Amino acid sequence: MWCGCGSTVSFAADVDWAKQNGAQIERFNLAQQPMDFANNKVARDFLERSGHEALPLILVDGEFALAGRYPNRTELARWTAIAEIIAETKPVTGCCSGGKCC
């Protein structure tokens, strides 16, 4: 189980890489920081429309950029070249998520 969370791990490494290259990236976990989702209209509407199953959600400059999977380095690089990145990730109720079972 842990539902193939390998992707989260490599994404974490990619984020570190992008940050080292000057990108500004913030990550949010729904279970741990629900207020950040509630306060962001794009994230809130996304959850309303597609549910938490559809996460992760990635916003760039506050606008929708990608959802349903984590971005790869090429995508991160492209966005970094455009402007700062804000990535909102939230793995869901079961897997790869905050508070697995405790």
The answer to whether 88 and 28 are in contact (CB under 8 A) is yes
Residue 82's SS3 state is helix
Q: Which is nearer to other proteins, 40 or 80 (CB)?
A: 40
End-to-end CA distance of the chain: 16
Q: Which stretch binds other proteins (CB under 8 A): 64-72, 75-83, 90-98?
A: 90-98
Q: Which stretch binds other proteins (CB under 8 A): 23-31, 57-65, 71-79, 80-88?
A: 23-31
The answer to whether 27 and 56 are in contact (CB under 8 A) is no
CB of 79 to other proteins, least distance (A): 20
- 17 φ, ψ (degrees, to nearest 5): -60, -45
> Which residues lie near other proteins (CB under 8 A)?
1-6, 8-10, 12-13, 26-35, 37-38, 44, 47-48, 51-53, 89, 91-102
